[in-house]
Amino acid sequence: MVKEKVILAYSGGLDTSVIVPWLKENYDYEVIAVAVNVGQNEDFKAIEEKAYLTGASKFYLINKVDEFVEEYIFPTLKAGAIYENKYLLGTSMARPVIGKALVEVAHIEGAKYIAHGATGKGNDQVRFELAIKALDPSLKIIAPWRIWDIKSREEEIEYLEKNGISLPFHKKSPYSRDENLFHVSHEGFDLESPSKEPNYENILQWVKTLEAANEKSEYITIEFVKGVPIAINGEKMSGVEIIKQLNKIGGNHGIGVLDMVENRLVGMKSRGIYETPGGTILFFAHEELERLCLDKDTYQEKIKLSHDFSKLVYNGQWFTTLRKAITAFVDVTQEFVTGEVKLKLYKGNIILAGTTSPFTLYSEEYSTFEKDSVYNQQDAEGFINLFGLPIKIEALLRKKNSFQY
C-alpha cells in the first residue's frame, strides 16, 4: 500500500527534527522535508543530513533568494510599508515565499498534506497557512504544536531518543531567532520584560553596537530606477547584492537596530529586537527620493495606503486581491521615482546628504526666497480667501446666531 505524503517545512532545528518521527508515528505518512533558502546563513548540507537521520524519505532545498528580493522585498519597499511605523516586516515578507515553495513541492510530489513547526501563539502559523490556502485550498495542514503533548526542549530530546535518534543539537541560544537575507530577529528570554534594557553585546548578530561602530562617518549614494535600487556608489548590482552590501555597510555603522513592542495578529503583544541594516538604509533613501519626485496628493495618499499594505503583509495576506491592488497603485506611483540619494552614515544615524532626479518636482525658480519672475505673491490673497471661506462663514454665522442661556 502506497503511503500518503506530507510536506514538512524543515529548518533542521530541534522542533522540526522532532516533527519528522512524530508525523510518521501518528499519521504513518511518508515525510518529505523541504528547506527554503531565503538568504539565511545555514549549512544546508548538514540540514539535509539531519532530515534523513530523523526519518525523512526525501529532502528538497528550494532556492528562493532572488524571488524573495524581487517579488516580495522590493514591492514592500516601493510601498513604504512599515508595520506600526517601526517594523520593516523582515519575517513577514519571507513567510509567503516559503509557503509558496511548500505548495510547489506538494504539487511535484502529489502530496495532500503540509506540516509546519510554528507555534499556536505566534503569527507565523497564520502566514504559512494563509499562503497555502490561497495557492491550493485543497491541501490539508498539520500543525503539531497545536495538537501534540510535547511542552519543552527536554521532552523533545527525550522523544528523539525514544525513537532511536541521537543528534548533536548545539546549546540553544536563550533567544528565539529568525534570519533571512533582509533581517535577523530576536525574541524571548530577558526580552520578554519590556522594562529591561537589551544587552546588545550578547544579542546582536549583524550590527555593531553604537560603542563599537565605526568612528569615522561614511558617504554612500544609492541609485533607484522606478523605485527599485540598482546601484551603490555608481556600481550596478543585483537586488540580492545590494542588500548584502548595505547590510555590511549599515552593520559597521550601528544602523538598523530596533527594539519594539508590537501587536501580534493573534491578539497579544510581543517584544523583539530586529536587525535590518540594509533595509533601514533602503527605506530611508527611497522615501527621500519620493519626496522629490511625487506630487503632494499622490505622496500623501500613498502614505495612507502603506499602512494598509503593512498590515496585510504582517497578517499573512500577501496572496490577496487587496494586496495586489495596492501594489498596482504603488507601481503607478513609482513611474518617476528615479534618481540618486546620497547619505551620510555615522553611529546609528542616517543623514540625508542630497537627492537628485531627472524627474524632480522641486523647482528652485518657484521655491526661492529671493527675487523671482514666475510667482505673483498677490495671487495668494485670492487663494486664501477661497480656501478659508468655509471657516469664515462658520465663524460669522456662529457669532450671529449665538445667544446667552
Three-state SS at 255: coil
Catalytic choice (11, 15, 127, 306): 15
The answer to whether 39 and 180 are in contact (CB under 8 A) is yes
d(CA 97, CA 70): 11
C-beta atoms surrounding 68 within 10 Å: 26
One of 17, 124, 185, 323 is an active-site residue; which one?
124
User: Has 124 been annotated as catalytic?
Assistant: yes
In the residue annotation, 217 being an active-site residue is answered as: no
CA dihedral sign, ordered 122, 163, 170, 190:
positive
Find the Cα–Cα–Cα–Cα dihedral 357, 358, 363, 368, rounded to 10°.
Answer: 60
Q: Is 398 a catalytic residue?
A: no
**Cβ count within 10 A of residue 34:** 23
Q: Is 190 a catalytic residue?
A: no
User: 242 and 225 in contact (C-beta within 8 Å)?
Assistant: no
Catalytic choice (57, 136, 176, 259) = 176
List the catalytic residue out of 11, 92, 95, 306. 95
235-236 and 30-37 as β-strands: parallel, antiparallel, unpaired?
Answer: unpaired
Residue 83 contacts residue 92 (beta carbons within 8 Å): yes
Annotated catalytic residues are 15, 95, 124, 176
